[in-house]
A = this chain, B = another copy of it.
Amino acid sequence: MEKYKEFFQTDRFAMNAGVELLKVEAGYAQARMLVTKEHLNAGGVCQGGALFTLADLAFAAVANSHGQLTLSVNANINFIRSVKEGYVYAEAQEMVNHHRLPFIEVCLKDEAGELVAIMTSSGYRKDKKLF
Residues of A whose CB lies within 8 Å of any CB of B are: 7-14, 16-17, 37-43, 46-50, 52-54, 56-57, 60, 69, 71-80, 95-96, 98, 100-101, 103, 105, 115, 118, 120, 122, 124
| Known A7-B42, A42-B7, A75-B76: A17·B49 in contact at CB below 8 Å | yes
Query: A54 CA to B37 CA in the complex, in Å?
Result: 18
- Find chain B residues with CB under 8 A from A12 CB: 37-41, 47
Expressed in whole angstroms, the minimum distance between the Cβ of A71 and any Cβ of chain B is: 7
Complex contact B50–A38 (CB within 8 A): no
Query: A14 CA to B41 CA in the complex, in Å?
Result: 7
- Find chain B residues with CB under 8 A from A40 CB: 11-13
> Beyond the given A12-B39, A49-B49, A72-B79, could you list 13 further A-B residue pairs with CB under 8 A, ordered by the A residue number?
A13-B17, A13-B46, A48-B72, A49-B57, A52-B53, A74-B76, A76-B77, A78-B96, A78-B122, A80-B96, A95-B118, A105-B118, A122-B122
Residue of chain B at shortest CB distance from A98? B80
